[in-house]
Amino acid sequence: MPGIRLAAFFVAALCAGEAAAQNDRPRPSFDCTGVEHRVHMTICNSQDLSELDRDLARYVLALKTVLGDEAVRALDAGQVAWERARDRQCNRVIGEIDPDGPVYRCLMAMYRARLVQLAQQNDRLRGGRGRPISGYYRFVDKGVSGEMWVIGWPEQTVTVMIDTLTLPDAPTCAFRMETVGEGNRVEGFSQSAPECRVSITFEGRAASVESANCAAVCVLNGRIDGVYRR
* pLDDT digits 0-9 by tens, 51-64: 999 999 999 999 99
- Give tens-digit pLDDT for 156-179: 899 999 999 877 767 689 999 999
Instruction: Tell me the three state secondary structure of residue 229.
Output: strand
In a domain, 13, yes or no: no
Claim to verify: residue 140 and residue 223 sit in the same structural domain:
yes
pTM higher than the cut 0.85: no
Q: Which of 68-77, 112-121, 135-144, 145-154 has the lowest mean pLDDT?
A: 135-144
Claim to verify: residue 190 and residue 223 sit in the same structural domain:
yes
Q: How many domains does the chain have?
A: 2
Fill in the DSSP letter of residue 127: T
Claim to verify: residue 45 and residue 120 sit in the same structural domain:
yes
Rounded to an integer, what distance in angstroms lies between the CA atom of residue 134 and that of residue 127? 13
pLDDT interval class at 142 (50, 70, 90) = confident
For residue 56, give every residue at least 6 positions away whose Cβ sits within 8 Å of its Cβ, in sequence order, or none: 29, 111, 114, 115, 118
- Give tens-digit pLDDT for 188-215: 999 999 999 999 999 989 999 999 999 9
By the 10 Å C-beta count (0-12 exposed, 13-18 middle, 19+ buried), 158 is classed as buried
In a domain, 54, yes or no: yes
Q: Are strands 172-180 and 157-166 parallel, antiparallel or unpaired?
A: antiparallel
Task: Report the 10 Å Cβ neighbour count for 227.
Answer: 13
Claim to verify: residue 104 and residue 154 sit in the same structural domain:
no
Rounded to an integer, what distance in angstroms lies between the CA atom of residue 216 and that of residue 48? 17
How crowded is the C-beta side of 203, counted as CA atoms within 13 Å?
4
Measured between alpha carbons, how far is residue 46 from residues 97, 152, 188 in Å?
10, 24, 25
pLDDT of 79 over the 50 cut: yes
- Give tens-digit pLDDT for 2-50: 443 433 333 343 344 433 334 455 689 999 998 888 899 999 999 999 9
| Domain stops at, among 75, 105, 126 | 126
pLDDT interval class at 99 (50, 70, 90) = low
Rounded to an integer, what distance in angstroms lies between the CA atom of residue 140 and that of residue 164? 9
* Full residue range of the structural domain in which residue 201 is found: 135-229
